[in-house]
Chains A and B, each alone.
Chain A
Amino acid sequence: GIQVEQSPPDLILQEGANSTLRCNFSDSVNNLQWFHQNPWGQLINLFYIPSGTKQNGRLSATTVATERYSLLYISSSQTTDSGVYFCAVEWDTGRRALTFGSGTRLQVQP
């Protein structure tokens, strides 16, 4: 099956700092989504981004499908950004459901 690797596994930031989270995948995909799991366990969809760039407030994401990676940018981080960020992909020759990476755990300190 497809492999999804996220880096870094853990990240600690001071409030106001910027960060870049990376997602590498091992095969062609036709669907890529980013999620935030908050400290209460809720999984929130951030971006549906199989290719190109999108922005939503302080968050933006870029997927370069031909090079098999995606980046999530967080600018001016806030304590409410803390949690785990997951990248998930749908393999274009495999099953039509998302395979999740192991996540990046972000802690934003005041």
Chain B
Amino acid sequence: DAGVIQSPRHEVTEMGQEVTLRCKPISGHNSLFWYRQTMMRGLELLIYFNNNVPIDDSGMPEDRFSAKMPNASFSTLKIQPSEPRDSAVYFCASSLTVGNTIYFGEGSWLTVV
């Protein structure tokens, strides 16, 4: 079975540009999570969805960040406008439902210059 699939794997963009990160969860999984990893803050939850509905977005840093899950097999995380401090690895993860084993994608490595 395919794991969690993220794209792009690497992106370098200029400050002020819009960035869209994409995620396809494992088929049949009902919960989807977006995490961000930086040296300073470690792994932090940005937002999670259950059955395509955003449940907790308290980790989204500011209004420049938005996330959607239009269907069970696709989610996006958008940053507009991007800033250098957004440089990080963004991970998508999924689980059968909340409280179950969670599986991570390979991450999207974002650099904003």
Mark A residues whose CB is within 8 Å of B. 30-31, 33, 35, 41-45, 48, 86, 88, 90, 95-103
Contact = CB atoms under 8 A, between A and B. Distances in A.
B77 interface: no
Nearest 9 CB-CB pairings of A with B? A96-B98, A43-B104, A100-B43, A48-B101, A95-B56, A97-B48, A102-B42, A97-B45, A31-B99
26 contacts: A30-B99, A33-B101, A41-B89, A41-B107, A42-B106, A43-B93, A45-B101, A45-B102, A45-B104, A90-B99, A95-B55, A95-B56, A96-B55, A96-B56, A96-B98, A97-B48, A97-B56, A97-B98, A98-B33, A98-B102, A99-B45, A100-B35, A100-B42, A100-B43, A100-B44, A102-B42
Interface residues of B, number: 24
B81 to A, nearest CB: 26
What DSSP secondary structure best describes chain A's contact surface?
A: strand
Given A41-B89, A88-B43, 7 more contacts: A41-B107, A86-B43, A96-B48, A97-B33, A98-B33, A100-B35, A100-B43
What DSSP secondary structure best describes chain B's contact surface?
A: strand
Contacts of B91: 43
Contacts, number: 55
Interface in B59-113: 89, 91, 93, 98-104, 106-107, 109
**Of residues A33, A41, A97, which shows the largest number of chain B Cβ atoms within 10 Å of its Cβ?**
A97
**Of residues B102, B103, B104, B109, which shows the largest number of chain A Cβ atoms within 10 Å of its Cβ?**
B102
